[in-house]
A and B are shown apart, each in its own frame.
Chain A
Amino acid sequence: MPKLNINGVDHQVDAPDDMPLLWAIRDLVGLTGTKFGCGQALCGACTVFLDGQPSRSCQTFVGDLAGVKVTTIEGAQGKVADTVRQVWTDMDVPQCGYCQSGQVLAAVALLTETPKPTDDDIDAAMDGNLCRCATYHRIRAGIHEAARRLEA
């Protein structure tokens, strides 16, 4: 039975090795912040961190995760995550909110790697995260604002 470490907690899951991590997180572990959008790593709604790196959980399989630390939106913590969430709330970035778990994690990853991203940096880092409400204008502004607050 595969073992998953999610948000610092070990879970034994009754799942075949080829089960996508997305469905293990949602249906077996019961954390629903990670969203299903496409199943093909095309939209980014299912983004999680694997050992800190943003990854698509719909194309990650539970059999490949021995010793890997999985962080979902529920477990994302720290100064960068808190700042991004606060900015997202202050600027009312989300509309429907469905893609925002993925957007927030992608933004946290970008700001962790690149504390002062340019518009081009943002476009490159965030292009895999689709938002059908097209909140892109505010995502861009939100990342710049978060960078400003983190620098201060």
Chain B
Amino acid sequence: MLPRIIEHLAPAASVKTSRRAFLVASAAAAGAFVIGFGAVPARAAGGAAVSAAPAPFDAYIRIAADGSVTILSSQFDMGQGSYHGLATLVNEELGAAWDHITVEGATGDLKAYGNIAWGGAVQGTGGSSSMTTSFDRYRQAGAAARMMLIDAAAKDWGVSAAEISVKDGRLTHASGKSAGFGDMAAKAAQMPVPKDVALKARQDWTLIGNGDLRRYDSRAKTDGTHPFTIDVKLPGMLTAVMIHPPKFGAVVKSFDAAKAKAMKGVVDVVATPRGVAVVGEHMWAALAARDAVTVTWDESKAETRGSAAILAEYEKQAAGKPQAAARNDGDADKAMADAAKTVEATFRFPYLAHAAMEPLNAVARMNKDGSLEIWGGHQIPGIYQGIAAGIAGIKPEQVVLHIMKTGGGFGRRATPDGDVVAEAVMVAKAIGYKAPVKVQWTRENDMRGGRYRPAYVHRLKAGIDASGKLVAWDHHIVGQSIVAGTPFQGLIQNGIDQTSVEGASNLPYAVPNLHVGLTTTEVGVPPLWWRAVGSTHTAYATEVFLDQAAAAAGVDPLAFRLAMLTGHPRHAAVLKLAAEKAGWGKKLPQGRFMGLAVHESFHTYVAHVAEVSVKDGEVRVHRVVAAVDCGTVVNPDVVKAQIEGGTGFGLGAILAEELTLGADGTVEQGNYDTYTPLRISAMPKMEVHIVASNAPPTGVGEPGVPSIGPAVANAVARATGKWITTLPLTRGMQS
């Protein structure tokens, strides 16, 4: 989940670019805007990487002779529905039969696939930007393809293009002439690519905004046929399991694999810079032999602190002065000193694992022609291409990436060092490229493999004047930088990694004296973006603390917020909508309490109202009402699904997830018995309300996560009088 900071790096980012401006820019990009038909050189998705030149025929759409339409997606789909979104955008303009459409991942041409929301400099999926980057680009591709099909039919039939209509993949003329897209595809490919195409007016849309449109890929997810990376099978393919260092930063000193190598089905045991790999004929052969390998580790550079020690150190730092200021309005120190009343709190956030259902994996195959193919969840393909080429000692353009849809992701498939992708190449190389290799992590590999949502400590102080108004706010965040030491390091500006402070430094409330500071720590635990990134902790700290301040001021938390949101109508609107639909202020059944929170992340606004009860120290969330404003809605049902799922994901984390390191620095959790995401019995009843909007579309993959936690905590505080400042709640309720 690359952060929105990338926008700051690239002023050319066209988040706000008008459709017209983009058309011009597209044309100026000389052939970057291209549509393919029929006679396309056969290759799998991602194969364009072999060619350095932009593939002129198949950047976005392929139509085969049988009428099937394949959309080539710049955006990665880990379940959030980006492929469905792109299919919707293309077909709104193209007019193919919906059941003829499939979507594949594509890469290799930055002009075609670079993320426009990030300035186009990188292809990648994150920061909930897929609809933003695709909205014009893929509608135009669909419109141009339709125009070329119509032009081809007009020429063939000797009629005017204006007299041809398109419906469900058929071209028809009043004379009775008719042809399917497939029949006309080869001829359409000979038509000039239109330089400018008119897009449908908003009121003519039939697919965009249509809540009845079903995802094209659901069926295959109910009968076992949907292919994931774990399902990739190649002739002669071997399967490798990894033995990773028990502590972060340790490396292999030596290993003894004599016993393992003698076991049936074991092909080899090899050391890589990332650990020892046991290579077998199949998964069980490798797994069964893994325990027979003994490894001695060099831990001289390993992180040996436990998370309790790390957090204790953070707490000390949080009480002191921050290293850098992320925002400084007015004079918070003075206003705090002059305030009639002050409130303080210290929040502690644990490391969190992504724990996606499909444990990390990748498949690598070196071909005789020197090309290296890699199948996997390539969320940042260009970076993976470079890493793989570096390991194999070949040119990046010789690396062909096959982009698979993955069993979840939540940020974990976008690692700056390529982790499992790098491992697949390392293992293939270590066995002399004698066979294709699938590296398949176990759940324990996945849980203990690092790349967590970092742990943080937040220290907050608020000053309230005699009239009950919030006049001072001082917020100090302490924790690791996600981008430091990665190819994204340049994104740190003036000592501030935006991913550490997003959601806090842009606090929407009108507080005249406001200071947000950051202290960046150095810890040997590899961090990563985790669905909603900085907002996973900043939303909790700010929104819970705001309720605490409202309580100190003696004001209703809804009224307290709305009074300070006059300059932020979209925050206010979702908050009011959620509160109204939830029945905020109305009498609740005995023992039930409500809490609310609002947060903007990645330009999408979400408010949650949670209804909870607390019995014997156990929190139960009964009902959740969410409201979302993501601008123009492409797929209303996907928006609902993502807010539902994001709510469950965020709720699980707040209730009971924590990844801890023991006193010697080894991870204490290994599987779902000790790291415990939400299960169905803890899922509340929920409803999602969408704000109608004509604003540019923004994403929903992440924004459902941040505000559920504070909404629940604020309800718990009403039930118990206690503000939960240590997460998860299972821990915080005891402290």
Task: From A40, A101, A139, give the contact of B443 (CB < 8 A).
Answer: A40
Residue numbers in B under 8 Å from A85 (CB-CB): 219, 222-223
The answer to whether B85 has its CB under 8 Å from any CB of chain A is no
Q: Contact check, A92 vs B224: say whether CB atoms are below 8 A apart.
A: no
Contact A127 B681 (CB under 8 A): yes
B282 A92 Cβ-Cβ under 8 A? no
With contacts A32-B230, A140-B683 known, is A42 near B284, CB below 8 A? no
Q: Is A130 in contact with B677, judged by CB distance below 8 angstroms?
A: yes
Interface size class of B (residues with CB under 8 A): 35 or more
Pick out which of these stretches binds chain A: B36-44, B108-116, B637-645. B637-645
Contact: A32 with B224, CB < 8 Å? yes
Question: CB within 8 Å of A: which of B396-433?
Answer: 405-410
Residues in chain B near residue A100, CB distance under 8 A: 221-222
Question: What's the least CB distance linking A10 to chain B, in Å?
Answer: 20
Q: A89 and B407 in contact (CB under 8 A), knowing A99-B357, A134-B644, A135-B641?
A: no
Contacting pair B239 A137 (CB below 8 A):
no
> B215 — which chain A residues lie within 8 A by C-beta?
92, 94
- A49 contacts B by Cβ under 8 Å: no
| A contact residues around B230 at 8 Å (CB) | 32, 35-36
Interface members, chain B 57-81 (any A CB < 8 Å): 78-81
- Taking each of A16, A95, A139, which has the highest tally of chain B beta carbons within 10 Å of its own beta carbon? A95
Chain B: minimal CB distance from A16 (Å): 8
Q: Of the candidates B288, B651, B680, which one forms a contact with A139 in the assembled complex, judged by CB atoms under 8 Å apart? A: B680
Interface residues of B in 627-654 (CB under 8 A from A): 637-638, 641, 644-649, 651-652
Nearest Cβ in chain B — how far from A70, in angstroms? 14
> Are the CB atoms of B678 and A95 closer together than 8 Å?
no
A136–B357 CB distance below 8 A: no
In the complex, how many angstroms separate the beta carbon of A60 from the nearest chain B beta carbon? Answer: 13
Does A52 have its Cβ within 8 Å of any Cβ on chain B? no
Interface string of B643-680 (1 = CB under 8 A from A): 01111110110000000000000000001110001111
Contact digits for A1-40, partner B, Cβ 8 Å, 1 yes 0 no: 0000000000000011011100110111011111111111
Which residues of A are found within 8 Å of B647, using beta-carbon distances?
Answer: 134
Chain B 236-258 per-residue mask, 1 if CB under 8 angstroms from chain A, else 0 = 00010000000000000000000
Bound complex: CA of A30 vs CA of B356, how far in Å? Answer: 24
A18 — which chain B residues lie within 8 A by C-beta?
288
A-B contact count, CB below 8 Å? 186
Chain B's nearest CB lies how many Å from the CB of A76? Answer: 8
B contact residues around A66 at 8 Å (CB): none
Q: Does B334 contact A (CB under 8 A)?
A: no
Q: Say if the beta carbon of B231 comes within 8 Å of chain A.
A: yes
- Tell me whether B283 and A27 are in contact (CB under 8 A): yes
Q: List A113-152 residues whose CB lies under 8 Å from chain B.
A: 122-124, 126-127, 129-140
Q: Please report the C-alpha to C-alpha distance between residue A7 and residue B410 in the assembled complex, in whole angstroms.
A: 34
Name the distance in Å between A122's Cβ and chain B's nearest Cβ.
7
Q: Across the interface, which residues of B come within 8 angstroms of A101, CB to CB?
A: 224
Provide a sorted-by-A list of 17 A–B residue pairs whose CB atoms are within 8 angstroms: A35-B228, A35-B358, A37-B672, A90-B214, A92-B638, A94-B79, A96-B78, A97-B217, A97-B221, A97-B405, A98-B357, A98-B406, A130-B679, A131-B357, A132-B356, A133-B79, A135-B648
Extra contacts, 10 of them, besides A33-B225, A72-B224, A104-B222 (Cβ < 8 A), are: A27-B282, A35-B357, A40-B672, A95-B80, A96-B78, A96-B408, A97-B218, A127-B679, A129-B680, A134-B646
Q: Which residues of B contact A (CB under 8 A)?
A: 78-81, 214-215, 217-228, 230-231, 233, 239, 264, 282-284, 287-288, 355-359, 405-410, 440, 442-443, 637-638, 641, 644-649, 651-652, 671-673, 677-681, 683, 685-686
